[in-house]
Structure 1
Amino acid sequence: MLKVQEIRELIKLIDESSISDFTYESNGTKVTLKKENGDVVTVAKPSPAQTQIQEVQEQAPNPTVEKQPVVKEEVKQETKEETTNENTDFNYEIVSPMVGTFYAKPTPDDDPYVQVGDSVDTSSVVCIVEAMKLFNEIEAEVKGKIVEILVDDGELVEYGQPLFRVKKQ
């Protein structure tokens, strides 16, 4: 998801340009910027994220200069439907130990390391996180059953981001 500072920079660029409508979508997050009556209105819809509504009003540094338009930033949370009760039945999350690219399988032609319902042991490899051309095998570190996979193959992951949910045994 875009950071607030990145959204503010986009707002400024759109405000200074002749563009009246701009949409950016990535990894389930959609940001739409529209100019209405000279104001830039931003609506961002992230996948599971905190709901946040924030109004930012920029004042010109010199009181004799005309006041800048009000810029509104609105972030709404979309609800994700849970298909089964099993997805919420977990007591451990396997998290990414680094920033990198998540790979669910050793090669594009192979089967994934694990799937929902698979049992894992403390030393079971569950995925690879590639960082700086190094492919790091991530182990489960617990004995249990995979109940949910939280990221897609090839998706960028952050340090500490949950990758899998596990029901420990």
Structure 2
Amino acid sequence: MDLKEIQNLIKFVANTGVAEVKLETGDVKITIRTTLEGTTETTYVQQLPAQNVLQQAVPQQIAPAAVAPVAATPAAEDNSKYITVKSPIIGTFYRKPAPDKPMFVEVGSSIGKGDVLCVIEAMKLFNEIESEVSGRIVKILVDDSSPVEFDQPLFLVDPS
């Protein structure tokens, strides 16, 4: 697990309002605690081959999220006729099955129900995200190899 993934996890936990999250994967153990004041304390423990333990506490000040009113825009109205495919999990978004393979879909690609649209890596597992609708890809909303959150829009599909 790299530093960017840990930072994204810290931000996600701080925004959800959860008091504490513990994560253990193989040789990495992470505990994230949040307080009412909006601070986050992260304890990162990694077991090294020589049984040395590295422990680092990283307090971060997280500003409370301001709720901004959403204004209706013409662009939002244009997108209302499209179906939004959202991420079912947190992880890293990949548009192709391997670095040397072609993309699953491009803008303008016709898709059918059950077609693989992308892969999301979560905890070293690669999860194929399949289309639940038939149509045409209008827009890809996430860059390749970017972290995604649960329920984050990934694609816009024109069902007609």
Superposition TM-score, scaled by structure 1 size: 0.51
- Change beyond 3 A, Cα 1:51–1:134: same
The residue aligned with 1:144 is: 135
RMSD over aligned CA atoms reads 3.8
Identity %: 44
Among candidates 113, 119, 126, match of residue 104 of structure 2: 113
**Which structure 1 residue ranges, 5 or more long, are not aligned?**
11-41, 43-48, 53-76
How big is the shift at 1:140? 1.1
Which protein shows a greater Rg? 1
In the alignment, does 2:87 pair up with 1:92? no
Distance 2:81 2:100 in 1: 30
The residue aligned with 1:45 is: none
In the alignment, is the contact (CA less than 8 A) between 1:90 and 1:166 conserved in 2?
Answer: no
Superposition TM-score, scaled by structure 2 size: 0.53
Write out per-residue CA displacement over residues 40-67 of structure 1, whole angstroms, 9 at most, x where no aligned residue. xx9xxxxxx9648xxxxxxxxxxxxxxx
The residue aligned with 2:52 is: none
In the alignment, does 2:93 pair up with 1:102? yes
**Which structure 2 residue ranges, 5 or more long, are not aligned?**
1-7, 18-33, 41-62
Distance 2:88 2:98 in 1: 21
Q: Output the amino acid matched with 1:161.
A: Q
Write out per-residue CA displacement over residues 48-87 of structure 1, whole angstroms, 9 at most, x where no aligned residue. x9648xxxxxxxxxxxxxxxxxxxxxxxx9xxxx7xxxx7
